[in-house]
Amino acid sequence: MTSQKIGNFFFKIRSFTPIPFILALLYFTKPSLYTTLIGILFIGIGEFLRIWAVGYAGGTTRATSLGAARDLVTTGPYGYVRNPLYLGNFLLSFGVCIIANVLWLVPVLVIGYFTQYLPIIAVEETYLLESCGGIYQTYREQVPRFLPQFRPYSSPSTHDFSWTRALKSEKRTFTAIVCVIGLIFARGIV
């Protein structure tokens, strides 16, 4: 299987890959007040980043095939990091590990995260380079892939932020977070 096929495969199933991870968290969960407070901080940051990102990019970020996006977004969080949604996903998952107090799953999360997202990002970057050319190449050279920079991109796009777009797109993610945390506490009490 080529790296492009692997990336496309992970892109299509990315909503389902957390299921084994969540099942392990629920099986081993032992939340405490301390881990809950720290975990909620990471979840809050991750969800804020996701809301900020989809407020600019819209619901097309939930597509299962490339080419659904409006066009190259280089403003908002995209001016600081190229993959704010994936960074937000990582922070959400890390926060859930902390809340559940299953810290041995953190290395599993890191390995799984990069195993899944590096091929996805490679396919997305190839697509963006082919469809946007030099504009994307310049953006890619100036904005980091994972760790945000402190200054925004020097040529931001003219995309606008929309709360309606953000909240509509994030409904599923927010529902999933609430359900997983609820299950952690229900399981932790039993």
What would the pLDDT profile of 28-68 be if each residue is shown by its tens digit?
999 999 999 999 999 999 999 999 999 998 865 544 445 54
Please give the pLDDT value at position 142: 97
- The span from the CA of 151 to the CA of 148, in Å, is 9
Domain ranges of the chain: 3-9+17-189
- The span from the CA of 90 to the CA of 116, in Å, is 11
Please give the pLDDT value at position 11: 77
DSSP E strands in the chain: the ranges are: none
DSSP string, 134-174: HHHHHHHHHS-SSSPPSS--SS-------HHHHHHHHHHHH
Q: Which amino acid is at 120?
A: I
Spell out, as residue ranges, where the chain has pLDDT lower than 50.
62-65, 68
CB atoms closer than 10 angstroms to residue 187: 16
